[in-house]
Structure 1
């Protein structure tokens, strides 16, 4: 019991310390939403079982929290971007924020934007998107976030906005289902070694929304090489224009100019976000 209390105290301390550290970049707060990914009925009934281990709902699929970051330079007199981030396997909000320097990179991109990070399958090897795989829930979630921002006088009802979706690894699945169901049509999609499947959902969104930007960075060993090649092969057959480059050979000008971008990286699966501050770099190119 003592050990459990100790671990809980350390976790709370680390979360609190991390959140306090981020305040030097802007406003940071957390909310809970009934429209969040979890809890959901599927994982309540059918826990995730992977390599013989069971990931119970109580521990891994109960957290409805949302991390929100608003840069200090945010201007509520101008249109803004809501950028939603989704973590991959065996991660959570706090570990991903720290490991990938998400707040630091987001702040340094200098966009008039709000960073929204809902909790996914917490510390679980799972790509399942929970309630976001169903119609209406993500849109309800967006309204919850906006109502909180309005309540805190961060945004105004007159401001125009758009949404973008970004994530790492297993985040591909939840992003693809949001594209399928949401009435909020994504202005940009950024996949960090995350194109494991659902290619048809990404392609359909790009076809139906010709102003949507798409950046996919993939690696040799992350499991995304062949799906990325397959999608490029399809685009060749459809005569779609896209840019394909080695990560280090792609210029900022190319990244900004081309609507659909495939970048091959020689880095490891968990390095593609922080290498060259890629998140910051990609965000700058989106709008």
Structure 2
């Protein structure tokens, strides 16, 4: 798939395109980043301003556009994220009338940084730039932004918490979906998730059990009623996920890399959003 060319598939339209508001390049990684003695140089890992866009089959333009913004984890890049985790297929199957945005974070690097999207207002600048492009390209009729869902896998937690703290468009954010992504930012997630009409879902494997116990405690301190679920084959009850309250879900058998797609939980979590 070449840059700036929409790819048509049965699941919808997909585009990989550079945007000025994408996380990188950014001064914070001008010298690259070192993790456990390994250098991830700037030219290879922090120069790509690609953002993936997916318009699902059956998308019906309205006077405001809902968006899902997914933040990937370590050691990944946008095209692989979309394909490996079957995001295009799951979005279409969910029936959500929303456009998916997948910004390129650190490219194939062990790093949770997210450059411009960690800055105050950086998230809003990118979403508005995407909306402006889509309107100019004839895909949506206005630049008005509707509801926003934030989705994070693994290391995507850091930028997600930054977006909630100071990224802008706070009144539009209705759902936060954490896929084994509760490594940090727990106070931010708790403060946000405890608010009325916010839905926070955290699906976690055993290695993040203590962090989710801490998240539950913080949510309760903020006055939230927290639902806790055990997940195992064949999967979760759709009704339990439709409640607008914080829900922590401990998977008993899914692996860290499987939480998004093995049982189509990206699809289910989107389907059950308001």
Same-fold call, TM cutoff 0.5: yes
How high is the TM-score relative to the length of structure 1?
A: 0.87
* Corresponding residue number in structure 1 for 2:200: 214
Number of paired residues?
268
* Corresponding residue number in structure 2 for 1:28: 14
Matched, 1:197 2:181: no
* Corresponding residue number in structure 2 for 1:256: 242
Aligned to 1:257, the other structure's residue is in SS state coil
1:40-189 equivalence runs, <5 A: 40-45=26-31, 47-77=32-62, 79-157=64-142, 161-185=146-170, 186-189=173-176
How high is the TM-score relative to the length of structure 2?
A: 0.91
Q: Kindly state the Cα deviation for residue 182 of structure 1 after the two structures are TM-superposed.
A: 2.2
Task: Provide the C-alpha distance between the structure 2 equivalents of 1:133 and 1:235, rounded to a whole number of angstroms.
Answer: 23
Greater share of residues in helix: 1
Structure ID, larger Rg:
1
Q: Which runs of 5+ in 2 are unaligned?
A: none
Structure 1 residues 98 and 178 mapped into 2: Cα distance closer, same or farther (>3 Å)?
same
**Which 10-residue stretch deviates more, 73-82 or 116-125?**
73-82
Q: Which runs of 5+ in 1 are unaligned?
A: 1-14
Structure 1 residues 90 and 38 mapped into 2: Cα distance closer, same or farther (>3 Å)?
same
Task: Provide the C-alpha distance between the structure 2 equivalents of 1:49 and 1:141, rounded to a whole number of angstroms.
Answer: 27
Deviations 1:145-181 (A, max 9, x none): 0011101222122866121110200000001001111
Deviations 1:2-31 (A, max 9, x none): xxxxxxxxxxxxx45xx8876222122222
Task: Provide the C-alpha distance between the structure 1 equivalents of 2:10 and 2:99, rounded to a whole number of angstroms.
Answer: 15
Counterpart of 1:278 (choices 265, 268, 272) is 265
Task: Provide the C-alpha distance between the structure 2 equivalents of 1:79 and 1:247, rounded to a whole number of angstroms.
Answer: 35
Q: Kindly state the Cα deviation for residue 183 of structure 1 after the two structures are TM-superposed.
A: 2.3
RMSD over equivalenced CA pairs, Å: 2.0
Q: Which runs of 4+ in 1 moved over 4 A?
A: 19-22
